[in-house]
Amino acid sequence: MANDILKNRFTAEGRALSDRMFYLIIGAALLFGFLVNALEVMFLTDYFLSWNPTVFLIVYLVMVLAGCLMSVLSKNPVISFIGYCMVVLPLGALLAIYLPAFSYKTIISAFLVTTFLSLFMVILSLVYPKLFGSIFALLGVALLVALIYQIVAIFTGFGNSTWIDWLVVLFFSAYVGFDVSLARVRPRTLNNAVASACAIYMDLIYVFIRLVAIFGRRN
């Protein structure tokens, strides 16, 4: 039911794509986002660390929220992609100031577990396509709480607790499955491919950040 309601928000306007091309575009958009983030971490860490934390937080929130709205609400793939970039850039900046505090081993461990959890949720969404739609309301509330916790924990250190971190990981991992299942029922257009990539990208980044926190605290 939830999937049927949500998929109707996405227009079928635009040239129809094949399933293969639709998923290739999603994959290419995700790789683009991760590549941009890697470049930010490698070359712009000192630049972002020089920012006033309050200014950084305001710019971060404004860009992410505006980018999400552009990606979700726009019917133009160019505008949706600009919105996606507006999400990718501040999240890369967040990674640039966050990851240097952790060891290479911790980062690799978090990356591998993120990959495993994501693949598991993708498989689950394929085997049980109605599962994530049935818990949509619960996931929505959990996502809001997780996002607030994510921001507070990163910028203040308040609330850093391993069991809470694992709950956040669980919620965002479940959203990977939900967004993948939602992508499967959307009309196969370029605009919808970009919007799907934006949603899945955010899920993966937040899972990764919390896993870095968990493994970093353990080490």
Give residue 4's pLDDT: 46
| Token pair for 134 | 């049935």
| CA torsion, ordered 18, 120, 211, 98, to nearest 10 deg | -10
Place of tokens 């919105």: 83
Structure token digits, residue 26: 């999603």
Dist CA 114 CA 210 (whole Å): 10
DSSP 8-state class, residue 11: -
Cα–Cα–Cα angle for 80, 86, 88, rounded to 5 degrees: 105
What are the tens digits of pLDDT across the range 75-86?
Answer: 899 999 999 999
pLDDT in the model for residue 8 = 45
What phi and psi, each to the nearest 5 degrees, are found at residue 132?
A: -70, -30
Two structure tokens written together for 40: 């930010």
Tokens of 184: 């499967």
Q: What is the pLDDT of residues 159-198, one digit of tens each?
A: 556 677 787 788 788 888 888 888 888 899 999 999 999 9
pLDDT digits (tens, 9 = 90+) for 7-59: 444 555 667 889 899 999 999 999 999 999 999 999 999 999 999 989 998 99
Local confidence band at 3 (pLDDT 50, 70, 90 cut-offs)? very low
Indicate the pTM of the whole model: 0.84
Coil, strand, or helix at residue 211?
Answer: helix
Closest by CA to 173, choosing from 105, 117, 111, is 117
d(CA 55, CA 78): 28
Rounded distance between C-alpha atoms, residue 105 and residue 56, angstroms? 28
List strand residue ranges (DSSP E) for the chain, in order. Answer: none
pLDDT value for 37: 97
